[in-house]
Amino acid sequence: MSYPTQPTASHFINGAYVEDTGGTPIEVMYPATGAVIASVHAATPAIVEQAITSARAAQGAWSALSGTDRGRILRRAADMMRERNHDLSVLETYDTGKPYQETSVADATSGADALEYFGGLAATLTGEHIQLGEDWAYTRREALGLCVGIGAWNYPTQITCWKGAPALACGNAMIFKPSETTPLCALKVAEILHEAGLPAGLYNVIQGMGEVGGALVCDPRVDKVSLTGSVPTGRKVYAAAAAEIKHVTMELGGKSPLLIFDDADLDNAVSGAILGNFYSSGQVCSNGTRVFVQKGIKEAFLARLTERLGQAVIGDPLDPATSFGPMVSQRQMEIVHSYIAKGVEEGARLVTGGARVEREGFFLQPTVFADVSDDMTIAREEIFGPVMAVLDFDTEEEALARANATEFGLSAGVFTCDLARAHRVVAGFEAGTCFINSYNDAPVEVPFGGSKLSGVGRENAKAAIEHYSQLKSVYVRMGNMEAPY
């Protein structure tokens, strides 16, 4: 069987597809079947050099354009992504295994939102005038230069757009290295940007494992690194970037809490817990995987949750009726499976799921554990799969303290009908992205990012501009200079 997924070549550099078969081969598997659907090569040092040289050569003229001119290209690319949403969504499904029901509304569309939003913002980027008596000063908002983006495998189209759109809007060039597990989607974004009129060299995609990412991060010609990945990788990349005092954005892992109070609307709370644990088969960084449920509502919550999970349609991700797909890889499935075994071993109560789905591909059942205690492995470590841990609590104070007792700080949510409590609880959360009576919404207008080990910097919204540009201050003296001698 042939798949419509083999890219023209492995890399996209200086406005064109480029191949170098000297690089380590990377096979791309369709997670729903395990079939090899494409093959690319990791970037060789020559490819890395080509990408850096062409990006640096193109960046100066790009940043000299007006913001309106830059923005127009991004907005055109956004329109093209929406027009091609079906094909891009099918590719995202092949790359990740996520159901088309999700990819058709959450990936290319989210990428298009970022291109449209930052395309619109580009023309509004200004410095400020500061009057100082007769003298005055002004600030210029300038590009950083060459930005490197490094992606995780769960949202390949979205991640490349969330990094590329603000970088380009601010006048930077970008080299994006997708995850080696999902190398296909970013190439399509590069194609579209260039078709929309982006000058060659400004948006390059090169493939490879951590080694290629490391070569980019360590190169002195790179000014900024934005990583979406795990905390261990974040530590390494942050340290390498620090050696040359490069700018960084770190979007890392989490083990986020979701607090459900007795007075919450039961079905809304169950919906929040489902979206916050099982969307994309649980492979979402901001997931609320520690679900603290107040004792009065606990059994009703578990009963309704189990009933609703029974309605999940598990199967062929390309079938629009499917609502729950496979894990991205055999390896990820095995990691998650071993966490499930740990949950059982450490005494958590398996409420539902826990096993592989009997079919080809890397499918695991949506899994819920109850009676989980704070010290269990499944309550402490990021699993990155469809495994929910339900913990009981009595009081607000206790729940908040336990919710914050983690080294992570990406997201947090609360379901309650008590308005004052909702705001009090989110004010107390040690997390970058919080939700009241909702979970996992990520519109481009709202800053997204983590605190503590979950990261530094923010993506999306005007906040991202701060992370892809720098200010130059200019003091202007109107009279004579005075000096002591």
Interface residues with ligand NAD (CB under 6 A) are 150-154, 177, 179-180, 209-210, 213-214, 217, 228-230, 233, 236-237, 251-254, 285, 382, 384, 410, 450, 455
Question: CB-wise, 154 or 323, nearer to ligand NAD?
Answer: 154
Closer to ligand NAD by Cβ: residue 230 or 271: 230
Task: Take residue 352 and report the two structure tokens written for it.
Answer: 């539902």
In the bound complex, what is the minimum distance in angstroms from residue 190's beta carbon to ligand NAD? Answer: 16
State the residue for tokens 């083990």: 255
| Residue 18 or 186 having the CB closest to ligand NAD | 186
| Comparison of 253 and 272: residue with beta carbon closer to ligand NAD | 253
- Find the shortest distance in angstroms from Cβ 250 to ligand NAD: 8
- Evaluate the CA torsion angle 435, 440, 445, 448 in order and state its sign: positive
CB of 157 to ligand NAD, least distance (A): 12
Task: HSE, CB side, 13 Å, CA atoms: give it for residue 74.
Answer: 32
Residue 38 belongs to what H/E stretch?
strand 36-41
Surface-to-core class of residue 266, CB atoms within 10 Å of its CB (0-12 exposed, 13-18 middle, 19+ buried): middle
What is the DSSP secondary structure assignment for residue 328, as one 8-state letter? Answer: S
Angle at which helix 266-278 crosses helix 298-309, to 10 degrees, equals 60
Quick one: 342 or 421, whose CB is closer to ligand NAD?
342
Q: How far is residue 378's CA from residue 85's CA, in Å, rounded to a whole number?
A: 37
Q: Which residues of 74-109 are buried (b: 16+ CB within 10 A; e: fewer)?
A: bbbbbebbbebbeebbbbbbbbbbbbbbbbbebbbb
Write down the catalytic residue from 285, 382, 396, 452.
Answer: 285
Annotated catalytic residue, options 92, 116, 191, 251: 251
**Residues 113/444, Cβ–Cβ less than 8 Å:** yes
3-state secondary structure 381-418: CCCCCCEEEEEEECCHHHHHHHHHCCCCCCEEEEECCC
191 tagged catalytic: no
SS3 219: coil
Question: Smallest distance from the beta carbon of 203 to ligand NAD, in angstroms?
Answer: 17
Nearer to ligand NAD by Cβ, of 72 and 236: the residue is 236
CA 243 to chain centre: 25
Give the nearer residue to ligand NAD in terms of CB position, either 205 or 410.
Answer: 410
Of the candidates 84, 12, 91, the one whose C-alpha atom is nearest the C-alpha of residue 55 is: 12
Residue 410 CB, nearest approach to ligand NAD (Å)? 6
β-pairing, 455-456 vs 36-41, is unpaired
**Which residue number, 411 or 469, has a Cβ lying nearer to ligand NAD?**
411
The answer to whether the CB of 288 falls within 8 A of the CB of 413 is yes
Out of 92, 102, 161, 163, the active site residue is 163
Catalytic residue list contains 251: yes
Question: Which residue, 71 or 449, has its beta carbon nearer to ligand NAD?
Answer: 449
Q: How far is CA 318 from CA 27, 161, 214, 315, 381, in A?
A: 21, 23, 35, 9, 31
Query: How many angstroms separate the CA atoms of 233 and 38, rounded?
Result: 26
Helix 156-169 vs helix 108-122: angle between axes, to the nearest 10 degrees?
A: 10
Q: Dihedral sign, CA of 268, 269, 272, 274?
A: negative
| Cβ neighbours of residue 375 closer than 8 Å, sequence gap 6 or more | none
Least distance from ligand NAD to the Cβ atom of residue 264, Å: 26
Given a contact cutoff of 8 angstroms between Cβ atoms, the answer to whether 267 and 311 are in contact is no
Query: In the complex, what is the shortest distance from the CB of residue 403 to ligand NAD, in angstroms, rounded to a whole number?
Result: 18
Tell the smallest beta-carbon distance from residue 362 to ligand NAD (Å): 14
Catalytic annotation present for 188:
no
Residue nearest to ligand NAD (CB): 213
Q: Is 295 a catalytic residue?
A: no
The least CB distance from residue 374 to ligand NAD, in Å, is: 20
**Which residue of the set 102, 180, 191, 459 is catalytic?**
459
Which residues are known catalytic residues?
A: 163, 251, 285, 459
